[in-house]
Structure 1
Amino acid sequence: MKKTTYKKYRILYLPKVILDNLLLKLHIGLADFDYNIEIFLTIINDILTKSSIFNKQNEDYLYHFVPLDSRYLKVKYGNTYPDYIRFLVNQGIIWNDNYYVGKTTYYYLHQLDYYTIDSNKLYILYNINKEISNPPYCFQDCITITPVSNENNKEISHQKNRIYNDWYRIKILIDSKNKRYLTSGYERDSVFINNAPKHIKKMGGYFRKHFKLHHEEALRFIEEQYNKNIGLATTDDYRNRITQKYTSRLSSILAIDNGKNNKTLKFSKNKANNRIDTNLTFLASELRQFIVGYEEMAHFDLKNSQPVMFTILLKEHYKNANTALKLEIDDYYKHTTEGKWYERLQKLYCNSREESKDLWMRMAYSENKHFRKEKNVFKNFYPEINAILESYKVKNHGDFSNKLTQIESSVFIDGICRELVNQGIIPYTIHDSVIVPKKDKDKTLEIMGKVLKQHLGVIPVISEE
């Protein structure tokens, strides 16, 4: 009996104006080497989708961008990767910052209306009929590109605004030649899950099997937001920021929809800080309401999480500390474990709680020489703690944040999550918080309190979102 072989595909989604611009330039013959179009598509997709991850905290930033190391590009695309990057940069499809020795190059997508303007110039220059050249496209049997239907486009009166949420669905047949760059990330995650400690292995398998969004509702939500905000846009800058936010969220939603089959679900350990990174950790908080079954889940969050992690670090200094340092740590410990650290900063700086959170991020995670005015205020009240904080950032200011997130991972992933799984509760995680079934609320709170008390000596404030 002949064995049935099933064809596997990878699905990508790209903005219409970017893909039209790329295909137009390939059609004209501007590529001077023998290329595989899948590589162009996946490089652009990398910048678009990884930007949502890399720049999550500022999703309305003006550009999509991502650092792409030459070693990563070589492993993923082979020795010919410079030809693809050079074409994309020289033809204005992407752009990059200046190269600095020892630093990874950042690659950017342009604002979307740039591609429309550029394509229109080429239509005129090469005397091409724009209407005839429009997709749907088909590349033999290996790639199919079709427009994504968008009912809300009918509600957008201005054509210039409409281009921002026109997208293409790209279906690529996976074969032995393109497998390494179409599915390598998913397969790498599979190796991690299969070789991870028992509790992480169970979490990874559970996440891949069960994590889903109410796809259509989530799409309607972000489209309604987009339509509302784009109607209020008075400048191109504002319009492009709204667009960037929309495309980031759209990329996140599309990556989750049928993500297991499309190889777009993410579950891996970040080597720099030991955090578990997933589609959920990258998802905008407003979109969590669309997680399938979310109404039957409880979300527990450690209040003042990063300042509390610093408390754990400060405990290592307490034993041999002088009297002044012990007094400072006692004061810091009290405010952080009681969930009142940002309120403490409010009093020191006479600002709002939200401003205090932003202020702490700037002080704690920036280079020592930056924000000196703000840091001097903190230094006046906590000179000993400030000296410890700055000592972790002498060589590299990122070392301090990595240290805190490593502690966080030890507490949450290796402590709380391990114990939860041992008790038959498999959680979703968002770094310093866990999402569990409501029926397991009490047990989860008990376990979180127990593990946190082991590290802190007291149970800090745990809030339910």
Structure 2
Amino acid sequence: MKRTSYKKYRTIHLPKVIVDNLLLKLHLGFADFDYNLEVFFSIINEVITKSSIYNKQNEKYLYQFIPLDSRFLKTKYGNSYSNYIRFLVNQGIIWNDNYYAGKTTYYYLHHIDYYIENTNKLNILYNINKEILHSPYCFQKGITITYLNTINNKKIDHQKNRIYNDWYQIKILIDLKNKSYLTSSYEKDSVFINNAPKHIKKMGSHFRKYFKLHHEEALRFIENQYRTNIAFTLTDNDSNRINQKYTSRLSSVLAIHNGKINKTLKFSKNKANNRIDTNLTFLASELRQFIVGYEDMVYLDLKNSQPVMLNIVLKEHYKDVNTALRLEIEDYCKHTTQGVWYERLQELYGKTRDECKDIWMCIAYSKNENYLQEKNIFKKCYPGINAIIEYYKKKNHADFSVKLTKIESSIFIDGICRELVNQGIIPFTVHDAVIVPKKDKEKTLEIMRAVLKKHLGVAPVISEE
């Protein structure tokens, strides 16, 4: 009997308006090279799915964007990558910022109306039958494009309230040629998990097996959130921000749904800062409620995490400093480990807690010569600590952030999580927080406090969700 080979597929989800615009331009013969359609889909998917990583801390951006280094693109798509990028940029599917020597180029998506308006213009100019374009597609061998079912498909009457919820589900047959870019990230993560230390290996296997979302409830939430937010927009820029927020959240939810089958679950170590990056670490905080089993879990978070990590750096200076700086460090340690650092900044600046969070970001993570007005207030109260922060940012302002993040990763991943796994508690992680079963809460708190006290000299405040 002839043996039947099992065919594997990769599913990608993309907004209909972008795909329609791309397919129309390919149909009109605008590409001047032999192309594989799935490469276009893969590059656009990179921008959509990974933009949430860069935009997670600040969702005020007008556009979705990511940096794409030419070396990365060449490794993933081969020497012909430049033809695909050139076409996508020249044809307005994506756009890029100005190129600076030695700097990675950032690639952006346009806002929703751009694609719709551009497609409509081409339809009119080339007398395209819209009925054909609006039917599901079946293209070159191994690629099937169908509509993605969404939860809320109510008709939206007002133009400005048009939701970005028409998406395509693109099913691509995996072969030897496209495997390198359709499944390479997942396979690379598999190699990392299999060769990682025992506790990380268990965490990776546990994540892939058990991390799931209540899919339909999550979709309903983000679509209702979109409709609520879009109703209060006053400008096009506001609408664009709401659209990109919706798109990022929808793509993150879709990546988790059937993520093991679709090769879209992420579990890897970030080489730059040693953090463990997963779909969970990229997920918006209000979507955590839809994790399957979350009602029986507890989220334990180190308050003021990055400010707390600075105490470990300051300890290196404590023994050899004058009395004034010792008092500064002791005051700083008290406020950060007690979880009231931003309240302390409120006293100094007379601003809201959220505003003081932004001010701390300016103090700690911006170039030394930037935001001088905000920094001068901090400098007057903590001149010695300010000098230490500036010292670590002298060559490259990003070095300080990386230093703190590496300390955090060492404590949480190699300290807290290692001990948790040794005690039979396998957590989900969100950098400076762990998610564990409620039955293991007290044991987890005990371990967290013990490990943190070992490094800090005092047990800091851990908040609970």
Query: CA contact under 8 A between 1:17 and 1:163: conserved in structure 2?
Result: no
Spell out, residue by residue over 1:163-197, the C-alpha distance to the aligned partner (whole angstroms, 9 max, x if none). 52111110001000000000111111111111111
Separation in 2, partners of 1:159, 1:27: 28
Q: Are 2:236 and 1:236 aligned?
A: yes
Separation in 2, partners of 1:234, 1:55: 22
Separation in 2, partners of 1:25, 1:161: 27
Separation in 2, partners of 1:413, 1:151: 37
Deviation of the 1:338 alpha carbon? 1.2
Q: Are 2:81 and 1:76 aligned?
A: no
SS of the residue corresponding to residue 107 of structure 2 reads strand
SS of the residue corresponding to residue 171 of structure 2 reads strand
Q: Please tell me the residue identity of whatever aligns with 2:13.
A: Y
Spell out, residue by residue over 1:380-438, the C-alpha distance to the aligned partner (whole angstroms, 9 max, x if none). 01111100000111111110000000000011000000000000000000000000000
Separation in 2, partners of 1:91, 1:163: 24
Q: 1:60 to 1:215 in 2, by over 3 A?
A: farther
Query: Once superposed, what is the RMSD of the aligned Cα atoms?
Result: 1.1
Separation in 1, partners of 2:37, 2:274: 35
Q: Are 2:189 and 1:189 aligned?
A: yes
SS of the residue corresponding to residue 62 of structure 1 reads coil
Separation in 2, partners of 1:163, 1:173: 30
Query: CA contact under 8 A between 2:151 and 2:216: conserved in structure 1?
Result: no
Separation in 2, partners of 1:307, 1:367: 18
Q: Are 2:460 and 1:451 aligned?
A: no
Q: Please tell me the residue identity of whatever aligns with 1:274.
A: N
Spell out, residue by residue over 1:283-304, the C-alpha distance to the aligned partner (whole angstroms, 9 max, x if none). 0000000000000001111111
Q: Give the TM-score normalised by the residue count of structure 2.
A: 0.98
Q: 1:163 to 1:298 in 2, by over 3 A?
A: closer
SS of the residue corresponding to residue 281 of structure 1 reads helix
Q: Are 2:270 and 1:275 aligned?
A: no
| Structure 2, gaps ≥5 residues long | none
Separation in 2, partners of 1:151, 1:214: 13
Q: How does 1:60-139 map to 2 (within 5 A)?
A: 60-139=60-139
Separation in 2, partners of 1:159, 1:351: 38
Separation in 1, partners of 2:317, 2:340: 22
Q: Are 2:270 and 1:265 aligned?
A: no
SS of the residue corresponding to residue 152 of structure 1 reads coil
Q: Please tell me the residue identity of whatever aligns with 2:307.
A: P
SS of the residue corresponding to residue 101 of structure 2 reads coil
Deviation of the 1:5 alpha carbon? 2.0
Query: CA contact under 8 A between 1:281 and 1:431: conserved in structure 2?
Result: yes
| Structure 1, gaps ≥5 residues long | none
Spell out, residue by residue over 1:255-306, the C-alpha distance to the aligned partner (whole angstroms, 9 max, x if none). 0000001000000111111000000000000000000000000111111111
Q: Which residue of 2 aligns with 1:341?
A: 341
Spell out, residue by residue over 1:341-360, the C-alpha distance to the aligned partner (whole angstroms, 9 max, x if none). 11111111111222211211
Query: CA contact under 8 A between 1:73 and 1:81: conserved in structure 2?
Result: yes
Query: CA contact under 8 A between 1:138 and 1:145: conserved in structure 2?
Result: yes
Query: CA contact under 8 A between 1:281 and 1:430: conserved in structure 2?
Result: yes
Q: Give the TM-score normalised by the residue count of structure 1.
A: 0.98
Q: Please tell me the residue identity of whatever aligns with 1:236.
A: D
Q: Are 2:391 and 1:382 aligned?
A: no
SS of the residue corresponding to residue 162 of structure 2 reads helix
Aligned residues: 465
- Give the % identical residues: 75
Q: Please tell me the residue identity of whatever aligns with 2:129.
A: N
Spell out, residue by residue over 1:202-221, the C-alpha distance to the aligned partner (whole angstroms, 9 max, x if none). 00000000000000000000
Query: CA contact under 8 A between 2:56 and 2:282: conserved in structure 1?
Result: yes
